[in-house]
Structure formats: C-alpha cells, structure tokens
Structure 1
Amino acid sequence: MLALALMAVSALGLIAGQLWTAREARAMAMREHAAWIADSVAEAMREPSAGDSASRQWSARAAALLPHGEASVGERNGVSAARVTWTTLRDMPRTGDVIDKPESCGGADVPTGSSCVALAFAR
C-alpha cells in the first residue's frame, strides 16, 4: 500500500512537471513570435518609404499569430521602439511565475493579463 501511494505521488509530480514545461514552451513560443514581429517592424521602419502601411501590415500579422496581438511603433526621448503586445492566455504562467520576463515594456504600462516585447531601434 505504501509503495502504491509513493508511486501515485511520484506520477502526479511528473505530470505536474510536464504540464509546467508545456506551458513554458507555449509562453516562449509566443514571446519568440512577438520578438520576430518587433524585429520585422523595426527593419521595415528603417526604410524611408515605409511607414503607416508597414505598421498596419505587421499589426495584422501580430493579430494572426498572437491572441489579441498588436504591433506599434512609438518614440520616447528620441528613441524609437517597436512594441508588440498580446493577451496572456489563462493557462499561461502568471507574471510572477516567469523568471526571465522584464518588469516593463520599454517604459510603457502594460495592462494586467497582457505581455509585451519592445525593441529599440534607430531610424
């Protein structure tokens, strides 16, 4: 009986570890997509002819790849930044659970339940 209880607890621990790994992998994939989009926005904005159309195009791509995704370009203190925000899914780790997530998104306030990636660039 003791061996059965020990095996059950061990199995539950393994399942919990697998679920945590799957959630972290999903969160990392979303951050990777957001970083890719922010990099693409920054590259597109370096072209003199690019502008509003490139921003709209990448915002549409962000909406397609991320839940409620949105790409934007802002300027603060002379530094341009490409910012991608998206809604964090319910089963994703909370902000305090993610070890490598920065506190802010380029100095902008991010609403609760959202995540953000910001990439500074020069025009």
Structure 2
Amino acid sequence: MLAVALMAVTALGLLAGQLWTAREARAMAMREHAAWIADSAAEAMRESSAGDAAIRQWSARATALLPHGEASVGERSGVSIASVTWRALHDMPRADDVIDKPESCGGADVPTGTSCVALAFAK
C-alpha cells in the first residue's frame, strides 16, 4: 500500500512538471513569434517606401499567430519602437509564476492579461 502511494505521488509530481514545461514552452513560442514580427515590422519601416501597408501586413500576421495579436510602430521620447501585443491565454502561467519575466513593453502601459514585446530601432 505504501509503495502504491509513493508511486502515485511521484507520478503526480512528474505530471505537474510536464504540464509546467508545456505551458512555459507555449509562452516562449508566443514571445518568439512576437519578437520575430516586431523585428520584421521594424525592418520594413526602415525602407522609405514602406508605411501603413507594411504595418497592416505585420499586424495581420500577428493576429494569425497570436491570440488577439496586434503590431504597431510608434515613437516614444524620439525613439522609434515596433511593438507587438497579444492577450495572454488563461492556461498560461501568471506573471508572478514566470521565472524569466520579460521587461515591460518599452515603458508603455499594457492592460492586465496582455503580453507585449517592444523593439527600438532607427529609421
């Protein structure tokens, strides 16, 4: 009976560890997609002919890859910033549970439950 109880506790511990790893991997994949989109939007804005069309294209890509994703380019304090925001999923870890918590979105206030990646660039 004791051996069965120990096996059950061990199995539950392993299962919890696997679930945590899967959630973290999913959160990291979303941050990776957002960083890729922000980098691409910043690169597109460096060309003089690019503009609203490029932002619409990358915002559509953000919507396709991220839940309620949105890409934008703006200026804050004289610095051009490409940012991507998306809604954090309910089964994702809370901000307090993330081991390597990313910095805020370039100093911008984002609503609770929203994640953001910001990339500063020169035109």
- Structure 1 stretches of 4+ with a deviation exceeding 4 A read none
Indicate the percent of aligned positions where both proteins have the same amino acid. Answer: 85
Tell me the C-alpha RMSD between the 2 structures.
Answer: 0.7
1:86 equivalent in alignment to 2:86: yes
Question: Structure 2: which 5+ runs fail to align?
Answer: none
Cα distance in 2 for residues equivalent to 1:63 and 1:108: 20
Question: Structure 1: which 5+ runs fail to align?
Answer: none
TM-score normalised per structure 1: 0.98
Matched residue pairs, number? 123
TM-score normalised per structure 2: 0.98
- TM-fit CA distance, 1:103: 3.9
Name the counterpart of 2:2.
2
Name the counterpart of 2:50.
50
Cα distance in 2 for residues equivalent to 1:87 and 1:118: 15
SS of corresponding position for 2:96? helix
- TM-fit CA distance, 1:74: 1.2
Cα distance in 1 for residues equivalent to 2:59 and 2:95: 24
Letter in structure 1 aligned against 2:97: D
Q: Deviations over 1:11-68 (max 9, x none)?
A: 0000000000000000000000000000000000000010111011100010000000
SS of corresponding position for 2:47? coil
- TM-fit CA distance, 1:102: 2.5
- TM-fit CA distance, 1:101: 2.2
Q: Deviations over 1:62-105 (max 9, x none)?
A: 00000000000110111000000000000001111112222410
Name the counterpart of 2:105.
105
Name the counterpart of 1:15.
15
Cα distance in 1 for residues equivalent to 2:99 and 2:109: 19
